[in-house]
């Protein structure tokens, strides 16, 4: 038993010594909306634009795969007004737990967890949003020495808000759930 434990510890130590690690920071532009379908935001509002900032850690697992989690402060939601649409602007701390595949260009994929910090309701208050968000991240990127550019799409799976109202058509009640959808363009630098 002790011999097996020693072998496992030596293997883990050699893996961590061989693994390359990078730490960096990034900032960029976010476009986001609350959706009532996979990509449909027709009833819930138009896209909003904001800035995001964050940090990234990259651990090389092998020649073509790295674990690349981030922490991101991001404003999300709908900020522009259209008739009969919801305007919720939210602030999140998001934790994308991405895996990076290949090197140039590279692909990103993984789950994301988000924690709601605050909500600004500017019109049509239909209730409070859930404080936990989760979904899927997909992206592509390019690095030049210590600099990198990422473009990622996030689709939330958690129903953050349930909306019901009577549409202009008297025979049709509208019942929907709101989820987050974001697109981020990030510019970053690995300083370690």
Predicted confidence at residue 171, as pLDDT, reads: 44
What is the average per-residue pLDDT within 21-49?
75
Residue 102 lies in a domain: yes
Residue 186 lies in a domain: yes
Predicted confidence at residue 167, as pLDDT, reads: 54
How many residues belong to the chain?
A: 192
Residue 15 lies in a domain: no
Residue 36 DSSP label = S
Residue 133 lies in a domain: yes
How many domains are contained in the chain? 1
- pLDDT exceeds cutoff 80 at 28: yes
Residue 174 lies in a domain: yes
Question: Whole-angstrom Cα distance, residue 14 to residue 4?
Answer: 15
Contact 182, 154 (CB under 8 A): yes
Least confident of 74-88, 148-162, 178-192: 74-88
Question: Whole-angstrom Cα distance, residue 123 to residue 120?
Answer: 9
Predicted confidence at residue 180, as pLDDT, reads: 87
Question: Whole-angstrom Cα distance, residue 47 to residue 167?
Answer: 21
- pLDDT exceeds cutoff 50 at 135: yes
Residue 43 lies in a domain: yes
The CATH number for 99's domain is: 2.40.160.20
SS3 at position 8: helix
Range of the domain at 185: 20-190
Question: Whole-angstrom Cα distance, residue 105 to residue 21?
Answer: 19
Predicted confidence at residue 160, as pLDDT, reads: 84
pTM of the model: 0.78
Least confident of 151-155, 167-171, 184-188: 167-171
- pLDDT exceeds cutoff 90 at 103: no
Provide the CB-side half-sphere exposure for 34 (13 A, CA): 27
Residue 131 lies in a domain: yes
For residue range 177-189, list pLDDT tens digits in order. Answer: 778 899 999 999 9
Residue 123 lies in a domain: yes
What is the average per-residue pLDDT within 138-159?
94
pLDDT-derived band at 68 (thresholds 50, 70, 90) equals very high
Contact 119, 89 (CB under 8 A): yes
């Amino acid at each position: 038993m002790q011999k097996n434990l020693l072998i496992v510890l030596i293997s883990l130590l050699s893996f961590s010594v061989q693994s390359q690690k990078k730490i960096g920071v990034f900032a960029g532009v976010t476009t986001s909306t609350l959706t009532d379908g996979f990509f449909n935001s027709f009833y819930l509002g138009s896209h909003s634009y904001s800035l995001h900032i964050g940090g990234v850690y990259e651990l090389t697992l092998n020649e073509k795969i790295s674990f690349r989690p981030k922490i991101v402060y991001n404003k999300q939601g709908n900020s522009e007004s259209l008739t009969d649409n919801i305007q919720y602007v939210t602030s999140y701390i998001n934790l994308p737990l991405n895996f990076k595949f290949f090197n140039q260009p590279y692909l990103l994929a993984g789950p994301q967890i988000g924690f709601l910090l605050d909500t600004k309701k500017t019109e049509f208050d239909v209730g409070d949003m859930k404080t936990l968000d989760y979904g899927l991240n997909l992206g592509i990127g390019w690095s030049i020495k210590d600099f990198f550019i990422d473009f990622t799409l996030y689709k939330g799976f958690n129903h953050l808000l349930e909306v019901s109202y009577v549409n202009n058509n008297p025979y049709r009640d509208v019942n929907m759930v709101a989820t987050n959808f974001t697109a981020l363009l990030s510019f970053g630098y690995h300083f370690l």
